[in-house]
Amino acid sequence: MPAPSSFPSPPPRPLTIEVFGRAAVIALPGDLRHHADDGLVRTLQYAVACGHQHLVLDFTPATSVDRGSFAILVEALTNLELHPHGAVVVAGAGALGDLLNVRDGDLLFTSFPSRPDALRALRDPSRRMQDGWRTASLSELTASLAAETAIEVRVGSSV
């Protein structure tokens, strides 16, 4: 029998930033709701303040994303002062990547099946990345996401 714990589930793992040249990879582990607070916003702002022109949001270690945390992520990105030629892309295949296809989310970001694929694409100057995240309307996004019935996505499930 496991020892008693004050946590109903393990505490969330921290967000991590790994640097690859001008790109910062931000790994989003566990349930994104645990990071949908000032920690996520501060991490994004820190990466940009350090001079990174490109951000890779790595959903590979994520286990769950809901519409509220996704909306907070998009809002944080619209408020960033990222380099005009900078890009925000998403890495992570499967059900979490499928979330971006819900209600035109694929127009917000260019999505790649893996982190290496995303980093490789960012090194290609001829590759155009989606940048709808720069001008996304939070109210429109929230209303659009609210119209979906099965918006929470867990690893191993589908939208």
Q: Residue 15's pLDDT is what?
A: 80
Question: Could you read off the pLDDT of 77-93 as tens digits, one per residue?
Answer: 887 888 888 899 989 85
What 3 state SS string does 47-64 have? HHHCCCCEEEEECCCEEE
Distance CA 102, CA 113 (A): 17
- Cβ partners under 8 Å of residue 8, min gap 6: none
Can you give the residue ranges of every domain in the chain? 16-154
Question: Could you read off the pLDDT of 54-84 as tens digits, one per residue?
Answer: 999 998 888 777 777 777 788 888 878 888 8
Give the residue carrying structure tokens 């921290």: 14
Q: Which of 138, 148, 135 lies closest to 73 in space, CA to CA?
A: 138
Distance CA 72, CA 90 (A): 15
Q: Which of 105, 109, 101 lies closest to 129 in space, CA to CA?
A: 109
Instruction: Find how far residue 40's CA is from the centre of its chain.
Output: 10
pTM: 0.77
Architecture of domain 16-154 in this structure? 2-Layer Sandwich (3.30)
